[in-house]
Amino acid sequence: MSRGREIANAIIQGQVIGQNIKVTIPPSETGMRMTFTELPRPLSYYYQPHKYVTIPGGYKATLFDFPVPGNHVLHIHQIANNWFNDTYSDWSIDGARFEKVERWISSLNAPLTVKDRYIVAYKNVKWITFNNGKDAIISEVLIDGVVYLLDDWKNLIGKRLKLY
């Protein structure tokens, strides 16, 4: 058997084994005993949370466009942006406007923590900035969070809300 085939077989075997592993996080870390089918991953595993782009006067640009992987959910933990006169941003979650942002939310170096607000996306998260001014701007946004397997998320929320 060639070395390449051996490596490919080892990768496939590891993936099959990994599908059947359940991860248990001890109560000391979460306040409750949790078993995850798939270990939750930071958004940065899938997509860069900090984005920036130069937008000429009179134009718009999509800074952030994250399609949530199928059968997963994104729990948003932090948000930050910069802001300029004559600009606004549309922050949409799952295709609906979540907020028309016409202000500075928080510094990019010290993002606002929103994880206790349970802002979640099942399909996608978008941030589009409109520059209605005459001069070009460098627009920035940071949206960060954790991606969970949908069933693990439902289990986690159910335990936190004591529904089960």
CATH number at residue 92: 2.60.120
State whether 32 and 43 are in the same domain: no
Q: Percent helix, strand and coil across the chain, each rounded to 5?
A: 25, 45, 35
One domain for residues 12 and 65 = no
SS3 111: coil
34, 115 contact by CB (below 8 A): no
pLDDT tens digits, 32-90: 567 889 999 999 999 999 999 999 999 999 999 999 999 999 999 999 999 999 999 99
Enter the DSSP assignment of 95.
T
Count of domains observed in the chain: 2
Together in a domain, 81 and 120: yes
Backbone angles phi, psi at 117, to 5 degrees: -90, -5
Residues 71 and 139 in one domain: yes
At 163 the pLDDT is 44
Q: Are residues 17 and 89 in the same domain?
A: no
Q: Range of 118's domain?
A: 39-160
